[in-house]
Amino acid sequence: MNEKILVAGASGYVGGILVPKLLQRGAQVSCLTRSPEKINARNWPGAKAVKGDVLNAGSLAEALKGIQTAYYLVHAMGQGGDFEKRDALSAANFGRAAADAGVERIIYLGGLGQTEQGLSPHLSSRQEVGRLLGQAGVPVTEFRASIIIGAGSASFEIIRDLVSRLPVMVTPRWVQSRAEPISIDDVIYYLTKCLDDKKTVGETFEIGGGEQLTYGQMMEKVAQVMGKKILMLRLPVLTPRLSSYWLHLVTTVPMSLARPLVEGLRNDTVCHDLRIRDILPLELTPFKTAVESALGVESSESRWTEAEMTAAPPSLLNQSVLENLQRWPCSTPPARLFDAVKRIGGATGWYYGNWVWRLRGALDRLVGGPGMRRGRRHESDLRIGDAVDFWRVVDYDPGSRLKLRAEMKLPGVAHLEFQTCETESGSMLEQRATFVPHGLLGRLYWILLNPLHFFIFRNMARNIVRRAEDF
């Protein structure tokens, strides 16, 4: 097989698993991205990063040139604001550009739900995207799925976090809604196998794992696999807004993602159309087996927190930059010093004042930020795009440089950068915290916290050096 394939959304959870499978088939795979370095960091031999943004129609023509099949795995949910408008604009742009480029088909992963039920904005948007992708004439193969079970899946992590952190749960009405969860392996099977069957072109299929379960039943089964006991107390007056706050505070998901997800949970998401099971026969993975597999993975190669933002951070050009700079000598070689640097965050912590970082994370959760619960994908391995607690890796040169961008709620844009270099006596750590304030509030924030920042950042740099020297 030598088909030319483009994947839009390769940095997301499903895309990050799909791309290697397509490469194994022998396809020529291009990954549409605003940040090529992020795709290049994934170390997918044979995959090509092409720059483009689905919100910018003019950036798509070159990326789609010569492409036969395009996968569309993009969604704006979780980025705040009016995600429905961004979803619609992105899909319309991509569909038109694909038609102009002569793309033969688009394959899209959307969401289950019956329109007569009065779909939530999230589910309605997912189905509208499927329609808009094909509006310009390119045949669309649309797969509609409910909860995807796999290590790194946002939906699965929500259920896992609820079960592991709350032995007693006060549950809203939506725990009685029915879903048909499907394992990530089965999703990838459908997404790749449909390439071999022309009967799937231009069709919409519902895919599920064959077991229809309420959310309450799913939580009970996950608890059984985890060896835990949970008690659920139903509280019908718990509103979607209160439920989303509850999910945000207890699980890893940010408020911008929790709210649309909760609103979607009022809808049953089960399969009614089973045609795909005859067209692409598959021994479906049982729910319990999928859960056991997901829980057995210590660190997922692909995770929902790595999904690319649909909007870039504000430009820092011509804006005042406030900074805290620390330089500390180290008696070890640069490689050993950087090994301590790259382990920062997650289980390792922040080398000084971890209780302060946890308090800052808790306050961030209260105001709708990601907080510290995202952790990190791997305890020592990093790549561009990784989440590190409430930071994001935006630049990474293994062995010498790490740059993080803050994603907590702030009146400005903050970065934390580490560089190591060799000296006559060993190495040197340069640690630079920068902040571009937004207006007067941003400046007041920096001025008030500057004494605390100086104390924390100074001791953090010192302890990184000490850790390297103790290795």
Q: Evaluate whether 228 touches 243 at the Cβ level (below 8 Å).
A: no
Domains along the chain? Answer: 4-306 (3.40.50.720), 322-470 (3.30.530.20)
The structure's pTM equals 0.73
3-state class of 336 per DSSP?
A: helix
pLDDT digit string, tens, across residues 41-87: 788 888 999 999 998 888 999 999 999 999 999 876 545 557 788 88
pLDDT digit string, tens, across residues 136-145: 999 999 999 9
Tokens, residue 350 = 């922040």
- Read off the pLDDT of each residue in 193-210 and give the average, rounded to a whole number: 94
Q: Evaluate whether 175 touches 234 at the Cβ level (below 8 Å).
A: yes
Tokens, residue 102 = 């002569």
pLDDT digit string, tens, across residues 339-378: 999 999 999 999 999 999 999 988 888 887 888 888 888 8
- Read off the pLDDT of each residue in 32-48 and give the average, rounded to a whole number: 85
Tokens, residue 193 = 């196998």
Give residue 234's pLDDT. Answer: 72
Banded model confidence at residue 99, pLDDT cuts 50, 70, 90: very high
Banded model confidence at residue 311, pLDDT cuts 50, 70, 90: very low
Which residues, at least 6 apart from 68, have a Cβ–Cβ distance to it below 8 Å?
Answer: 3, 4, 5, 103, 104, 105
Q: Which residue type sits at 142?
A: E
Instruction: Count Cβ atoms within 10 A of the Cβ of residue 352 and give its class: 0-12 exposed, 13-18 middle, 19 or more buried.
Output: middle
Find, among 381, 15, 357, the residue nearest to 5 by Cα: 15
Provide the percentage of residues in the chain whose pLDDT is more than 70: 85
Banded model confidence at residue 154, pLDDT cuts 50, 70, 90: confident
pLDDT score of 38 more than 70:
yes
> How many C-beta atoms surround the C-beta of residue 34 within 10 A?
18
Q: How many Å is the Cα radius of gyration of the chain?
A: 23
In terms of pLDDT, which residue wins out, 1 or 446?
A: 446
Q: Which long-range contacts (CB under 8 A, 24 or more apart) does 220-224 make?
A: 221/287, 221/288, 221/291, 222/159, 222/160, 222/163, 222/291, 223/163, 224/288
> How many C-beta atoms surround the C-beta of residue 418 within 10 A?
23
Provide the percentage of residues in the chain whose pLDDT is more than 90: 45
H or E segment to which residue 98 belongs: helix 83-101
Banded model confidence at residue 315, pLDDT cuts 50, 70, 90: very low
In terms of pLDDT, which residue wins out, 294 or 241?
A: 294
Give residue 318's pLDDT. Answer: 44
